[in-house]
Structures are given as structure tokens and as C-alpha cells.
Copies of this chain bind each other. A is one copy, B any other.
């Protein structure tokens, strides 16, 4: 953590993340207005994550756009570690990815790192597999193109991708993974080898790979970028998303294993209401009187932040809410009520989609156009 008061690794987020500092620290680039203008020319509009600066950092996204403008396609890659139930924070990169797939008509690969979570957690493999299946239904419910999306578990697709995994593993030595991931003598050899599996899908096509993912996954792409060209592939490009703040305040990371911090995708309306009322950190004043007088602070108010990150899509409306809250017109209870309504509606719709998602998931895993191609391919 050195002099910063925050820590970001693929397995841990501590403190209030300073995203500008993270750009410096990780050596990534800020998503500039220039890039947004270029993007908007192609896509005609910008999604909420770009408009609001949630997609805040990138690696080589400009180069991907260069290639695209020359008529060269790229592909998308993202993933999920099935360690437990999914919460709303987990969905952000997938919603973002869906938009990119639609706008660019791109193939999408979604890796389910069941091996990694088995190595990391005190769980049996069959427990991990049960979680993985539930997570994949949540992901399928997002509505990706089932003919152009391939969802795979490492434990199954290792059979086809071991060739690439070996190429990568040969190029990465112990000192690199110790430095990049903080592995030590107590780390098991599955975890030490795992970065070769997470990097492998970036080489599924001989084309640029664009990875929309939370910033905490960046160490893998740094490692990949050091070796990709030697192996005849493109350096991975990435767009980094900010992490949706936990209910309990804008420090740290939402976690399914600490239910007070998160709304899970299967929380019912009552639970959502209770959690937000009870735990959502408020930027309001201690009494109504004071609040009317001094106003609230939307920058630290989690209900406001959630609306801003993705529940209130309307830009005018979110600014109205910000004004009303800052000025004291809107009370904390009222703001929480707005969040409860939006979150409940989202979760209800998601649940309905999830209940119908099985046929699409089957296509994305095995029978759709891309999935079939992938199972016929040995790398």
C-alpha cells in the first residue's frame, strides 16, 4: 500500500480507491474526451458507463479503434470467478460488454475460472461447479448474442486451450508472478500456474482482443502484454471500469460473502429494501432540519452513487437528483427510496430473464455458432 491508502489486486480491494492514482500506478491511460468523440462517431451514442466516467481507464483502446476503422475486427473477452452468488456490482462489466458486442458486432469469450476459485477457496470442486452454473445463468440473462458468445469453464475448455496455456506458461517465470500477483511460498501451484489460463483467451483469435473488466483484473493484462507479441499475438487491450461501491460506504469492494455490503441478484424486494435502508451509507445530515439547511453530500452517499453508476440512466434526472440532494431538498430517506425502487425493478427484471436463460446459455456454452466452432478447435 506504500503511501497510498488503498490496495487493488485481483483478490483484494482495500480503502477508497483513488482512480487517478491507479492510472499512474498501473500505467494505464485515462479515457479521454478525444477517444469518447471517436467512439461516438462509430457507435452513434455512448452508454452510461462511458458518459459517467465509470469506464475511466484503458490500454490500447485507441489502437483497437484504429484497427476497427481500417476494417479489422476485434474480439471481446471478459470473465467471472465463481466464488459465490453474484451481486449487482458483478453485472456492470457484463452490461458494459453487451453494449460493446452490439455496437461492434464482435465475438465475445466469457471465461468462468472455476479452477482458480477451487484453488483459492475452502470449497469442494462440486460446490464450485454448482456456483459456476448459477453464475452462468446470471451472465446468460444479460442477453448476449448466443451465436457470437462463447461461455466456458476452465475445467472443461482446458482440453482445447492447453496448447496456448503451455505457450504462455513457458514465457512466464516465478519472479514475474510473484511480483505481479504477490504470490509467496504458501501459494499453491495451481494458483501460480493460473495466470497462464486467464491470459489464454486473449489469444483465441489472431486479432486484437479488447477486455472490458474491473480495474482489479489489470495485472493479468500487464503480464499478457509482456509476452503476447513474442508468441505472435496482439497485446491485450482493455477498458477498465470503476468498482461499484459497497453499500457500507465508498471504501473497499462489494462482496457476496459479506451480505451487508451488497445486493445479491437473488435478493427479494424485502431484503433489498431492508439492506438499503439499514446499511446504505448516507451522505445526509444527522437531522432533517440540518439536512434541509446544509444539504447532503452525493459524493459519499452510496444510494446516490448507485443511481449514478448505473441505476438511473437518464442524465438530466441524475443531475436533478444530485442538485436536490446537495441542496437539502431531497432527504436521505427519499433518496434511499429512489434507489430501492430502481434496484428492485432491475433485480426483478433480471430474475425473470434468468428464469428464461437456460436455452441461451446452452447455445453460448455448446450449440451456438461460436461455441460449436470453439469446441471443434484445438489450440
Q: Which residues from chain A sit less than 8 Å from chain B, CB to CB?
A: 115, 118-119, 125, 155, 158-160, 162-163, 166-167, 169-175, 177-178, 183-190, 192-193, 195-196
> Looking at chain A's contact residues, is the secondary structure mostly helix, strand, loop, or mixed?
helix
Contact of A118 among B170, B173, B175, B178 (CB under 8 A): B170
How far in angstroms is the closest Cβ of chain B from A152?
A: 13
> Lowest 7 CB-CB distances: which A-B pairs, in order?
A159-B159, A169-B190, A193-B193, A175-B185, A158-B162, A174-B185, A173-B188
Contact of A169 among B155, B171, B178, B188 (CB under 8 A): B188
How far in angstroms is the closest Cβ of chain B from A323?
A: 53
A125 to B232, CA, bound (A): 14
A188 to B173, CA, bound (A): 4
Instruction: Report if A192-B190 is in contact (Cβ < 8 Å); known contacts: A163-B125, A184-B174.
Output: no
Which residues on B sit within 8 Å (CB–CB) of A193? 169, 189-190, 192-193
Instruction: Report if A119-B174 is in contact (Cβ < 8 Å); known contacts: A155-B162, A190-B193, A196-B189.
Output: no
| Beta-carbon contact of A173 and B196 below 8 Å | no
Which residues on B sit within 8 Å (CB–CB) of A190? 166, 169-170, 193, 196
Which residues on B sit within 8 Å (CB–CB) of A187? 173-174
Which residues on B sit within 8 Å (CB–CB) of A166? 115, 118-119, 125, 155, 190
A118 to B339, CA, bound (A): 55
Which residues on B sit within 8 Å (CB–CB) of A184? 174
Which residues on B sit within 8 Å (CB–CB) of A170? 118-119, 188, 190
Instruction: Report if A174-B192 is in contact (Cβ < 8 Å); known contacts: A158-B158, A162-B158, A166-B119.
Output: yes
How far in angstroms is the closest Cβ of chain B from A150?
A: 17
Most buried by B among A118, A178, A186, A190: A190
A129 to B186, CA, bound (A): 34
A158 to B158, CA, bound (A): 7
Instruction: Report if A173-B159 is in contact (Cβ < 8 Å); known contacts: A119-B166, A166-B125, A167-B125.
Output: no
A186 to B172, CA, bound (A): 9
A175 to B183, CA, bound (A): 11
Contact of A175 among B119, B167, B177, B186 (CB under 8 A): B186
Question: Which residue of chain B is the closest to A155 with respect to CB atoms?
Answer: B162
Question: Which residue of chain B is the closest to A176 with respect to CB atoms?
Answer: B189
| Beta-carbon contact of B163 and A189 below 8 Å | no
Contact of A173 among B167, B185, B195 (CB under 8 A): B185
Which residues on B sit within 8 Å (CB–CB) of A174? 174, 183-189, 192
A329 to B17, CA, bound (A): 87
Which residues on B sit within 8 Å (CB–CB) of A171? 188
Question: Which residue of chain B is the closest to A175 with respect to CB atoms?
Answer: B185
How far in angstroms is the closest Cβ of chain B from A191?
A: 8
Which residues on B sit within 8 Å (CB–CB) of A188? 169-174
A178 to B115, CA, bound (A): 22
| Beta-carbon contact of B162 and A189 below 8 Å | no
A174 to B178, CA, bound (A): 11
Beyond A158-B162, A170-B190, A175-B185, 15 extra complex contacts between A and B, CB < 8 Å: A115-B166, A118-B170, A119-B170, A159-B162, A169-B188, A169-B189, A169-B193, A171-B188, A173-B188, A174-B174, A174-B186, A174-B188, A174-B192, A189-B196, A192-B193
